[in-house]
Structure 1
Amino acid sequence: MREPQAAGPLAGITVLDLSRVLAGPWCSQVLGDLGADVIKVEQPGQGDDTRKWGPPFLDDGSRDAAYYLCANRNKRSVAIDMAKPEGADLIRRFAARADVVIENFRVGGLARYGLDFDSLRAIKPDLVYCSITGFGQTGPLRDTGGYDFLIQGMSGLMSVTGLPDGEPGGGPMKVGLPVCDLQTGLYAAISILAALHHRHATGEGQHIDLALLDTQVALLANQASNWLNGGVTPRRMGNLHPTVVPYQDFACADGDVLVAIGNDRQFRQFMDLLGLGALADDPRFAISSGRCLNRDALMDVMRPVIARWQAADLIAAMQAAGLPGGKVNEIPEVLAHPQIEARGLVHEMARSDGTPVKVLGFPAQLSATPATYRHAPPRSGEDTVAVLGERLGLDRNEIDRLLAAGVIAERL
């Protein structure tokens, strides 16, 4: 099956994806959404690790996990054993015709197969080659494997996530999503786009060295700046904000409400809404820094007043006043929310056998070159024969020989 006619800003770009699990596949999915032809290389008989990361599993005979489905649309899967010399040679031939290679093997792991940056640059000088690892290609931890949970802890993220020490349930807490992997995938896509622009201007390819730890440390953002520029060590504060008050959850009579008051004008409006207008003139609370320093005193007044409201009534009153407030939605609620429906974020695709798969779409709405949804997440190796014929010109006899030798495989 030939690649359907792609549209989008990356139409005509070929990505050879040697990555698995999440950071690399998330990156290549972004590129695929924007029109790139992504060829996903998987180990015969094994496939991407996340295919087994269930339950839940897709009930279509493949037993692919829902986890795998979230990060692998707009790709074609070929199963090639790179440990066999002929398999590594096939991948080199793909790379010679590709614009981008993405890999997340351990440092130096691909050199033994002649698939490292230096080897592939020798045959494709303008290649953009992106290596994603836990700790990067240099430094004392370069040979250490990196996993999202480990990186959340090592990066300091867990030191500012969770309830404070001493409170019931207090202690370090990971984020409920693999944010280090996801964010690294996004930075990888950004970096690849920058490298492609550089190549367009100069004809020069390059190596992108991207680490999960580096990415998450860079995303400490305001918390890191509080230490670097203010000498303040950030701590776990639960749902409180370190410098913006009130920016937290409050208990109403029948449930919790989220309040995100971001400036002094909004604070005055919110106090008026609560019947506490005098607090906006109190020198302890009138400006943001004062509210931060006198947080406990302010909460002593606000909490009992908010506790008398019904949650839905307070949210409605805040929305009518143009103030940011809302509730904590569960996943089924948010995916059925009218706003998400209006934005068209949930898409239904069909696998090659007709099995429906629902995916969350590309969130940016480009007016001239919108994201497209051409391939549902493929079964492992289902495109091997078609892509080898289309991209490398192999005939059926040669493909059959490679299948018999175990160099390649068809669909699991």
Structure 2
Amino acid sequence: MGEPRSGGALSDLKIVDLTQMLAGPFATMMLADHGAEVIKIESIEGELARHAQPCRPEDIEHVFPGYFVSVNRNKRSVALNLKSDASCEIVRKLAANADVVVENFRSGVMDRLGLSFDVLREDNPKLVYASIRGFGDTVGGSSPLQDWPAFDVVAQAMGGMMGITGPEENMPTKVGPGVGDTIPAMHCAFGILAAVHHARKTGRGQYVDISMLDSVLAVCERIIHQYSIQGYVAGPEGNHHPVGTPFGLFPASDGWIAIGAHKDDFWRRLCKALDVPELADREGFVTTAQRAVNKKAVQDAISEVTKKYSKAELTKRLGAIVPYGPVLNSAEIMEHPHFRARNMIVPIDYPGIDKPIETVGVPVKLSETPGGIHRRAPRHGEHTAEVLRELGMDDGAIRDLAERGAIAMPPADWIQVAETKKASREALQKETAK
């Protein structure tokens, strides 16, 4: 894995990314994976995810935590002290030449920094400005909870997801991955592309306002129409479909499997493949409607069969016969031929350590302009000097900003800037001596 290749469907998109943790970085990662140039603005201390676990045991300086690595690939890092007017001016210059600015600060922070949408669009009318907040921004509707902080668990709880997840009626359960962050991230990436499309047609940018709660509710949409039409308040559904059956999780001798055989043709195939064809014609089991009425009995009957076999044995029996899949843990996923064939487990360089770290690949497969992971996640401030030079700053100005605490750079860049400054000074002295 070396420098990023040219191309990618979004290679003409330039993004200034002021986000941290998961929701914002995941959104900009999606765009970077498809070629967008993403300049990640971090604080002098580094964004919060840099201080998370885990790191490789050999990484005694805690430079490259997996949390950060996973969602910040294909980006460049610029470390700025946004309490400094000079650093805020750098952000304004970057935004003036960008297509998109993305942030996930608390409401009002960017206004206080003088970096609000209204300020930045003065220099760049085509700018698309996106924010992800727990309860959104006033642009999309002023929530009475707008100033509340929020994390994934809050979005899952209030957005309806926990209310329909869990083993039984009175036990709502958090979904394992941070979908309260990643679902808003996907909506944000979509909103950005829609707004950029409009800006390039009309010359007018706009604000993309993403609420974590709104995004979670959007993917739980059926709970709203169920209540509106039927007055039905959906609750935790366990590991089976609320109506169709068999549709859910069933035991194996060494774990669990998922089956979706609620349709009549799949039901008959399932019973035949499990060597219990008589189940297909049992009274109350024959049709989709009958099985819906007798869900528990159907589930128990199938479970009694499946628990006799291992996941591997059930895979041989049911794979390609009915909608089926074993419940896989991370170790099994790493070895599964599907994910390797689809390039969904990808090695990334780990600075200072020979053994790469593996992370999830790019799920959106484009035939003409495929995305990919072409650059590891950056070290803190790794590209500060590089980006500032692109803005037209010389090494003397960069060194001055570093000495004033307005920016941060890796030690190697400090050395390079110092040597360049020394060489320029010596050349000037020689010219003066002549």
Normalised to the residue count of structure 1, the TM-score between the two structures is: 0.92
The one-letter amino acid of 2:147's match is D
Distance 1:297 1:354, change over 3 A: closer
CA gap 1:257/1:226 in 2 versus in 1, 3 angstroms: same
Per-residue deviation, residues 225-271 of structure 1 (Å, max 9, x unmatched): 33333322222132111122111222344543322214221012212
Q: In the alignment, is residue 159 of structure 1 matched against residue 159 of structure 2?
A: no
What residue is the counterpart of 2:401 in the other structure?
402
Check conservation: 1:7, 1:372, Cα contact below 8 A.
no
For 2:270, the equivalent position in structure 1 comes to: 270
Cα distance, 1:269–1:98 mapped onto 2, change above 3 Å: same
Q: Kindly report which structure 2 residues correspond to 1:101-180, keeping only aligned pairs within 5 A, or say none.
A: 101-137=101-137, 138-165=142-169, 171-180=171-180
Structure 2 Cα separation of the partners of residues 311 and 21 of structure 1: 36
Q: 1:271 to 1:227 in 2, by over 3 A?
A: farther
Hey, what's the Cα distance between the residues in 2 that align with 1:352 and 1:299?
A: 51
| Match in the other structure for 1:54 | 53
- Counterparts of 1:221 and 1:296, CA distance in 2: 26
Instruction: Report how far residue 106 of structure 1 moved.
Output: 1.1
Letter in 2 for 1:298: V
- What is the CA–CA distance in structure 1 between the aligned matches of 2:275 and 2:252, rounded to whole Å? 16
Change (3 A) 1:122 1:248: same
Q: Number of residue pairs matched?
A: 404
State the 1:298 CA deviation.
2.2
Which residue type is aligned with residue 312 of structure 1? A
Q: Find out whether 1:314 has 2:318 as its counterpart.
A: no
Alignment correspondent of 2:364: 364
- CA drift of 1:311 comes to 4.1
SS at match of 2:250: strand
- AA aligned to 2:294 is N
Distance 1:118 1:177 in 2: 35
Gaps of at least 5 residues in structure 2 are: 412-434
Per the TM alignment, residue 299 of structure 1 is displaced from its structure 2 partner at its CA by 3.0
Q: CA deviation at 1:360?
A: 1.5
SS in 1 for 2:11: coil
- In 2, Cα distance between equivalents of 1:15 and 1:262: 46
Shift in alpha-carbon separation, 1:264–1:122, aligned structure 2, 3 A: same
2-side partners of 1:99 and 1:7: how far apart?
A: 17
CA deviation string 1:195-230 (max 9, x = no partner):
111112111111000010000011103344333333
Aligned twin of 2:68: 68
Letter in 1 for 2:91: I
Q: Is the 8 A contact 2:38 2:76 kept in 1?
A: yes
Q: Deviations over 1:163-208 (max 9, x none)?
A: 114xxxx722211110110111111111111111111211111100
Query: Could you give the per-residue CA deviations for residues 56-85 of structure 1, whole angstroms, max 9, x where no partner exists?
Result: 357444533211111000100001111111
Separation in 2, partners of 1:376, 1:223: 40
Separation of aligned partners in 2, 1:120 and 1:289? 59
Cα deviation, residue 150, structure 1: 1.3
> Secondary structure in 2 aligned to 1:290?
helix
Q: Is the 8 A contact 2:4 2:74 kept in 1?
A: no
Between 1:355-364 and 1:345-354, the stretch displaced more is 345-354
Decide whether the 8 Å contact of 2:245 with 2:298 is kept in 1: no
- Is residue 2:206 matched to residue 1:202? no
Is contact 1:136-1:142 (8 Å) kept? yes
Q: In the alignment, which residue of structure 2 is the partner of 1:238? A: 238
Q: Secondary structure at the match of 2:71?
A: coil
* AA at the equivalent of 2:47: D
Offset of 1:24 from its aligned partner?
A: 0.6
Structure 1 residue 406, shift from structure 2 partner: 0.6
Residues 206, 58 of structure 1: CA spacing in aligned structure 2 closer, same or farther, 3 A cutoff? Answer: farther
TM-fit CA distance, 1:353: 5.5
- Aligned residues: percent identity? 36
Preserved CA contact (<8 Å) 2:51 2:62 = no
SS in 2 for 1:76: strand
2:340 corresponds in structure 1 to 341
Given that 1:101 and 1:128 are in contact with CA atoms closer than 8 Å, whether structure 2 keeps it comes out as yes
Q: Which moved more, 1:90-99 or 1:281-290?
A: 281-290
Letter in 1 for 2:341: A
1:267-306, aligned counterparts within 5 Å? 267-281=267-281, 284-306=284-306
2:88 counterpart SS class: helix
Aligned-partner residue type, residue 22 of structure 2 = L
Render the CA deviation track for 1:315-343: whole Å, top value 9, x for unaligned: 211126x2122321110110221111111
Decide whether aligned partners of structure 1 residues 274 and 20 sit closer, same or farther in structure 2, where only a CA change above 3 A counts.
same
- Flag the 1:10–1:251 CA change in 2: closer, same or farther, 3 A: closer
The structure-2 alpha-carbon separation of the partners of 1:4 and 1:252, relative to structure 1 and needing over 3 Å to count, comes to: closer
Superposition deviation, residue 282 in structure 1: 5.4
Greater shift, 248-257 or 208-217, is seen at: 248-257
Mapped contact 1:58–1:64 kept (Cα < 8 A): no
SS at match of 1:365: coil
| Segment of structure 1 superposing worse, 224-233 or 8-17 | 224-233
Cross-structure match for 2:77: 77
SS at match of 2:183: helix
How far apart, in 2, do the equivalents of 1:141 and 1:6 lie? 44
What TM-score comes out, normalization by structure 2 length? 0.87
